């Protein structure tokens, strides 16, 4: 079944330039934007307008001092706010617009103006913490959007799935003590940023609402399919979110220069399909993806397009491949460890 899928993009995102030799380059989006400019793609997706967020919206998730620190870089030729995160004259503008794209995507699916949405933004966001930049990220786009949904749209339960290679420390931190967000992360571990251990499960009202699946590296489509089939699906069905948000990183792609995972287009399409089915059954189809990492330009583009095809209802993944991943089996120690941890709080088969 075809669905109304919104794609949020802007040339402003290309204006953020962290400097020579940096892997998070404007070219990450150039090929994607070129592909999405083709007439058949313009007919296939919605391309809504959107605005940058204001300071008050950023302050739903970030300290005023942090916002001011990033804002002070506007117009400056080149500044580094931490060892990995540098800015150019329009980086603050791009970062505000990236958060604005995530917020607009949530507004669209919540209002029923789109069924699904993908915010193709940069700079990425999931490492940005309440009061500091980190790991190429200035503001935490997905956390700002989730805060907006909770505080301004009246939602009470949001599932955030982070499949980026690196653990989303900033997003985990933002919702670690609340049951209004179930944060589920697959990531290479131990690896940057050093967080995301099995034992990190939340605190206070949030205990049990952070589920981490730390992976050694080398996991392929079948491994991620098993994690989604056997752990994420029963968690989501019990939590019954009103909105599903995804930190969609493509540095788990086989061949990415920063990681050792072995995911392919089929894996991304399959994971997107699982999330789409969960969204259809639990929250009126509301599914929003926000771009995070992915540093091999060609393969990242293929991964994003695989997700967009699945979101649009094109079902490009062959039936045989879909069945194989739905029935994936085999030893996966990380899944067994994560399952035992989750069982302390949830009813998980197996």
Which residues are catalytic, by number?
Answer: 127
The whole-angstrom separation of Cα 182 and Cα 39 is 38
What is the rounded distance in angstroms from the CA atom of residue 284 to the CA atom of residue 272? Answer: 16
Buried/exposed code over 73-92 (b: 16+ C-beta within 10 A; e: otherwise)? beeeeebebeebbbbbbbbb
Other beta carbons within 10 angstroms of residue 15's beta carbon come to 16
Q: Give CA 96 to chain center in angstroms.
A: 17
Torsion of CA 103, 106, 112, 113, to 10 degrees: 40
To which residue do tokens 């915010």 refer? 119
Residues 6+ apart with CB under 8 A from 305: 32, 35, 265
Closest CA to 203 of 240, 175, 231: 175
Angle subtended at Cα 161 by Cα 47 and Cα 167, rounded to the nearest 5 degrees: 110
> What angle separates helix 141-152 from helix 91-111, to the nearest 10 degrees?
40
Torsional sign, CA 133, 135, 136, 137 = negative
Region class of 315: left (phi > 0), else alpha (psi between -120 and 50), else beta: left
Q: How far apart are the first and last CA of the chain?
A: 32
């Amino acid at each position: 079944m075809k669905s109304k899928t919104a794609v949020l993009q802007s040339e402003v995102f290309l204006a953020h330039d962290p400097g020579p030799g940096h892997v998070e380059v404007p070219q990450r989006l150039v090929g994607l934007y070129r592909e999405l400019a083709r007439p058949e793609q313009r007919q296939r997706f919605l391309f809504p307008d959107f605005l940058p967020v204001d300071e008050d919206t950023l302050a739903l998730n970030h300290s005023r001092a942090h916002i001011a620190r990033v804002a002070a870089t506007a117009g400056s030729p080149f500044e580094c706010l931490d060892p990995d995160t540098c800015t150019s004259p329009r980086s603050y503008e791009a970062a505000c617009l990236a958060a604005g794209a995530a917020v607009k995507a949530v507004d669209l699916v919540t209002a029923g103006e789109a069924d699904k949405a993908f915010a193709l933004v940069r700079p990425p966001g999931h490492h940005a913490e309440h009061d500091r930049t980190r790991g190429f990220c200035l503001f935490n786009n997905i956390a700002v959007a989730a805060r907006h949904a909770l505080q301004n749209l009246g939602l009470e339960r949001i599932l955030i799935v982070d499949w980026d290679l690196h653990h989303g420390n900033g997003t985990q931190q933002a919702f670690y003590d609340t049951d209004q967000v179930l944060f589920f992360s697959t990531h290479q571990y131990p690896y940057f940023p050093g967080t995301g251990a099995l034992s990190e499960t939340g605190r206070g009202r949030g205990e049990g609402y952070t589920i981490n699946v730390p992976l050694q590296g080398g996991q392929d489509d079948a491994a991620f399919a098993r994690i989604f089939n056997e752990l994420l699906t029963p968690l989501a069905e019990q939590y019954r979110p009103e909105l599903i948000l995804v930190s969609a990183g493509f540095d788990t792609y086989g061949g990415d220069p920063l990681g050792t995972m072995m995911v392919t287009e089929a894996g991304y399409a399959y994971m997107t399909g699982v999330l789409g089915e969960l969204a259809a059954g639990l929250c009126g189809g509301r599914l929003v993806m926000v771009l995070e990492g992915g540093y091999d330009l060609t393969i990242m583009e293929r991964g994003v397009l695989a997700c967009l095809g699945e979101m649009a209802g094109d079902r490009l993944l062959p039936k045989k491949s879909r069945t194989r991943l739905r029935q994936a089996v085999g030893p996966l120690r990380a899944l067994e460890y994560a399952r035992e941890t989750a069982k302390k709080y949830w009813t998980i088969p197996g």
